Every structure is written in structure tokens, then in C-alpha cells.
Amino acid sequence: MAQAILDVKRSVHFCPVCFSYATGDLCEVCADPRRDRTSICVVSEPRDVSAIERTGAYRGLYHVLGGVISPMDKIGPEQLHVRELLSRLASGEVAEVILATNPDVEGETTATYLARTLHPLEVKVTRLALGLPVGGELEYADEVTLARAIEARRDA
Ligand SMILES: [Zn+2]
């Protein structure tokens, strides 16, 4: 019984690199040597990682912010994993950051903030293409729409 509880605790936690769900030391994506380490897709929640993974259209890494900027809820960049994103970019290995927050007000605010913050760095910053339903959530977008939004991403 005690062991079972321990196993559950050990089984799901946040990946220390990208803050997605992980069952091992790292999440499946970070631990996979075949993933393209030159691109990072920034999402707000771990469930967005699952939504994008389902499309099969993306082979890079992820970074989960753990929320979105929301002045109404007193959530600013300090409450999100923005600092950790910046330290991942410091290695210079990453060539592109794809902003894949939801196409709603908070998601857009967060993407705009990140685009501005990342602008001075030598990294290409892109945003998912329109075509996602405005006000909708990534995780409910169908796979074809989401795959197209990734492929047709534009400069942020
Ligand atoms: Zn990870």
C-alpha cells in the first residue's frame, strides 16, 4: 500500500526541463534523443503538449509556462516559467521559439509579452498561424487544424 502511494507520487510529476508531465526523470519528449533540439514550442499547459503531439506535425521540444499572463488574476510573467525558458535559450542551441498559447486574450497577451522579451535574443520567434478558432483552446482544435497552424506559423 505504502509502496503503491510512493509509485503514484513517483509516476507523475513535472519535467524539470520543460515542466510538462513526466513519469521518468525527464518527460518523454525531453528524454527522446530523436527530437529536434533547435526548436522549442511554448505552451501554457501540459495538456497543450498532448494536443500538439497528437498532430504528429512537430518534432521539436516544448516549454510549458504553467499558465498565462492574466492581470485580472494577478498572474504576471514572474508566476510563469519564463525565467526557465530564458535560461534554456542561453545555451544558444535553440534557433526557433514557437509561441503556441491559446488564441484568446490572455494567450495573445502572453505571446506578445514573450515575443517582446525574446526579441533581443538571437532566436527566431514564431506564432501559430491563424486558422485556430479565436477564443478557442488549443486542446480542442482538431488535429488537422492544429497541424496546419504549426506548419503555417508566422513571425511573431
Ligand atoms: Zn520535458
pLDDT at site 41: 98
Measured in degrees and rounded to the nearest 5, phi and psi for residue 154 equal -125, 165
Closest by CA to 128, choosing from 106, 98, 105, 108, is 98
* Cα of 38 from ligand 1 centre, angstroms: 14
* Cα of 11 from ligand 1 centre, angstroms: 14
Checking if the pLDDT of 1 tops 60, the result is no
3-class secondary-structure state, position 154: strand
The percent helix, strand, coil of the chain (3-state, each to 5) is 40, 20, 40
pLDDT at site 121: 93
What whole-number percentage of the chain has pLDDT above 90? 68
* Cα of 20 from ligand 1 centre, angstroms: 6
Closest by CA to 111, choosing from 103, 88, 90, is 103
Instruction: Give ion ligand 1 contacts, CB < 5 A.
Output: 15, 17-18, 27, 30
Distance in angstroms (rounded) separating the CA atoms of residues 128 and 18: 19
Distance in angstroms (rounded) separating the CA atoms of residues 56 and 22: 19
Strand residues in the chain grouped as ranges (E): 13-14, 21-22, 36-43, 60-64, 96-99, 124-127, 154-155
Checking if the pLDDT of 6 tops 70, the result is no
Task: Give mean pLDDT, residues 76-91.
Answer: 96
Distance in angstroms (rounded) separating the CA atoms of residues 68 and 46: 13
* Cα of 14 from ligand 1 centre, angstroms: 8
pLDDT at site 131: 64
* Cα of 31 from ligand 1 centre, angstroms: 7
pLDDT at site 18: 98
* Cα of 120 from ligand 1 centre, angstroms: 25
pLDDT at site 24: 92
pLDDT at site 49: 97
* Cα of 119 from ligand 1 centre, angstroms: 24
Checking if the pLDDT of 70 tops 90, the result is yes
